[in-house]
Chains A and B, each alone.
Chain A
Amino acid sequence: GAGVSQSPSNKVTEKGKDVELRCDPISGHTALYWYRQSLGQGLEFLIYFQGNSAPDKSGLPSDRFSAERTGGSVSTLTIQRTQQEDSAVYLCASGYRPTLDTQYFGPGTRLTVL
């Protein structure tokens, strides 16, 4: 079946602009995760959704970052007023019960902030 998809695959933006990154999880997966992969920080967990709800947003790097999920499916990660340090690959993953801790990753969105 189809895996996790993310769009766009690449995004180049100017400092100060807002960007939206999209994730389509595997159909039927109730859990959805966002991560950031950067050279300096490795892989960082950002946020987890169970259904449309995100119980803990403390992993988001700053208040410029927000995420939402609708219909228990598609999720968007929004970065407002982008900064150069936001440049990274943003990864989305999904999972399902009972093996909720096994996550299936999308190909990522490479964000470059000039």
Chain B
Amino acid sequence: GNSVTQMEGPVTLSEEAFLTINCTYTATGYPSLFWYVQYPGEGLQLLLKATKADDKGSNKGFEATYRKETTSFHLEKGSVQVSDSAVYFCALSSGGGADGLTFGKGTHLIIQP
């Protein structure tokens, strides 16, 4: 079956530091890959997505590249801000939407000023 593995944290960084949150997956076929973010007290929001190998998703300074050879979709940001503090979820969909999303456990990111 499908699965997603990500570092759970908490990950604590200083403002303006470089961020990497690792995500690897196991899936049948050619899944679409996603990063969702959950800010304190808010619902899940789509951060970025990639639908095929070598695609790069980007949004709000965050990037992730779909690496089929390493089955990875690591999230990166060059300079984090306090407002980036949230829980980040890596997810995949392999059924074109018919089978729901498979999520990782989530990574709690804390950015200190």
Report which A residues bind B (CB closer than 8 A).
31, 33, 35, 42-43, 45-48, 50, 55-56, 59, 91, 93, 95, 100-108
Contact = CB atoms under 8 A, between A and B. Distances in A.
A33 to B, nearest CB: 5
A107 B43 contact: yes
A33 B100 contact: yes
B32 interface: yes
Nearest to B102: A45
Contacts of B102: 45
A28 B93 CA distance: 21
Interface of B: 32, 34, 36, 42-46, 49, 51, 89, 91, 93, 95-106
B96 A101 contact: yes
Contact of A45 (B45, B46, B89, B99): B99
Q: Which 8 A-B pairs have the closest CB atoms?
A: A100-B97, A45-B100, A101-B93, A43-B103, A105-B44, A101-B97, A107-B43, A42-B105
Contacts of B43: 91, 105-108
Contacts of B99: 45, 48, 56
Given A104-B46, A105-B44, A106-B43, A42 B100 contact: no
Contacts of B89: 43
